[in-house]
Amino acid sequence: MENAEMQVTWNLEPLPHFPMQASPARESVTYRMRDRDVAIGIIFLIQTLAGVSGNSYLMYNYLSLYFKERQLKAKDLILMHLTLANFLTLFCKGVPQTMEAFGIKCSPSDSGYRLLFYLHRVGRGVSFGSTCLSSVFQAITIRPKHSSWAGIKIKAPQLIIPFIYLTWILSLLVNTDILEHMTGSLCHTNITHPTDLRYHSSFPWEEPGEMLHVIYVTLPDAACMVLMLWASGSMLLILHRHKQRMQHMPRSKVSSRSPPETRATQTILLLVSTFVCFYTLSSLFTIYLMFLLDPGWWIVNATGVFSMGFSCLSPFLLMRHSPSSSMFCCTWTKNRKSSLIS
């Protein structure tokens, strides 16, 4: 009997506990996900900081010119509104994306999500319209004085302000449906599910008026794209004809430096090309995302990078080639030297 009791006691003793060890494969996957999130966060951070710095410099440039001369040229006024639209894109898209990538928790209300995405779309629309307006205005400006566009060339500077206001009004009105149909979240600490980290728009694709809704949303963009392509083609043709005329002139009469109109046209062409490139990539990725129920991590973040590419690069293109920016830098340098001498 005693042996039996001893046997029972022996069987009831707890088994030795061996702690569970994480699988090396699982740990490597976790660390790899953390590394790539940090990497994309750094990319978003660099984009946002560079874009904000460049656009801040341009805005300071235009405001200084305005307070100094009490007015801005039509081209500078367009580019100032483009800079303001870039600010909207960077603050309403770049800052939240950077916070998401680094896992920083923010919890605005559902109306806050909608407002941020709405302002981002408004900034994108104004950026589109301002780029289109600058290309069309430059195409009209560089035309010969005795051409059939002479009357429009004289009136064009007076029509810039109404068209800028029209661009803002259309962008505010066209994107109002986002405030009704957008669902989703903005910032989460759990960054392992990329579908939870971006804005999502759920439009009624199966309703009878779906085609009218698509046309209503895309018509302004399509019209601006057609105008930009026409203006760019016209500018290229005018520059080509000008170059041909310069080749037939004696070298003694040809200046080694391009005239300001040519440099300004080249800047606008470069700006339009950059915009079309980023806009096309961003649109293709966005359309692809709309038809995916579970998009991958890379396509979600690539869409975010492309959507902010133009707002980040455009101020540096303008600073490098814009005559107004160069004039401001020269004026600041001369004032600096005169103050040092005195």
Residue 280 lies in a domain: yes
pLDDT in tens, 260-286: 677 778 888 899 999 999 988 888 888
Residue 42 lies in a domain: no
| DSSP string over 271-288 | HHHHHHHHHHHHHHHHHH
* pLDDT confidence tier of residue 127, bands split at 50, 70 and 90: very high
Residue 310 lies in a domain: yes
CB 130 within 8 A of CB 167: yes
Residue 24 lies in a domain: no
Residue 264 lies in a domain: yes
pLDDT in tens, 186-222: 443 333 333 333 444 444 445 555 667 667 777 888 8
Give the mean model confidence (pLDDT) for residues 291-309: 81
pLDDT in tens, 38-92: 888 899 999 999 999 999 999 998 888 888 887 888 888 999 999 999 999 999 8
Residue 16 lies in a domain: no
Give the mean model confidence (pLDDT) for residues 7-26: 43
Instruction: Decide: helix, strand or coil at residue 289.
Output: helix
Residue 319 confidence (pLDDT) above 90: no
Residue 99 confidence (pLDDT) above 70: yes
Instruction: Decide: helix, strand or coil at residue 144.
Output: coil
Residue 176 lies in a domain: yes
Output the CA–CA distances (angstroms, integers) from residue 236 to 242, 290, 329, in the order listed.
10, 36, 29
Domain ranges, residue 311 = 54-244+260-327
Count of domains observed in the chain: 1
Percent of the chain at pLDDT exceeding 70? 66
Task: Pick the more confident residue, 251 or 287.
Answer: 287
Residue 160 lies in a domain: yes
CB 98 within 8 A of CB 41: yes
pLDDT in tens, 226-272: 999 999 998 888 888 877 776 666 655 545 455 667 777 888 889 99
* Closest C-alpha to 43, from 94, 110, 79: 94
Element of type H or E holding 131: helix 110-141
- In this prediction, residue 24 carries a pLDDT of 47
pTM of the model: 0.75
Give the mean model confidence (pLDDT) for residues 114-139: 90
- In this prediction, residue 342 carries a pLDDT of 44
Q: What is the CATH number of the domain that holds 83?
A: 1.20.1070.10
**Residues 269, 135: Cα–Cα separation, whole Å:** 7
- Count Cα neighbours of 177 within 13 Å in the Cβ-side half-sphere: 12
Output the CA–CA distances (angstroms, integers) from residue 165 to 149, 170, 171, 316, in the order listed.
24, 9, 10, 25
The region of weakest confidence among 135-139, 261-265, 304-308 is 261-265
CB 167 within 8 A of CB 221: no
Cβ-count burial 120-140 (b if 16+ within 10 Å, e if not): bbbbbbbbbbbbbbbbbbbbb
**Residues 176, 201: Cα–Cα separation, whole Å:** 12
The region of weakest confidence among 40-54, 74-88, 112-126, 162-176 is 112-126
Task: Pick the more confident residue, 40 or 288.
Answer: 40
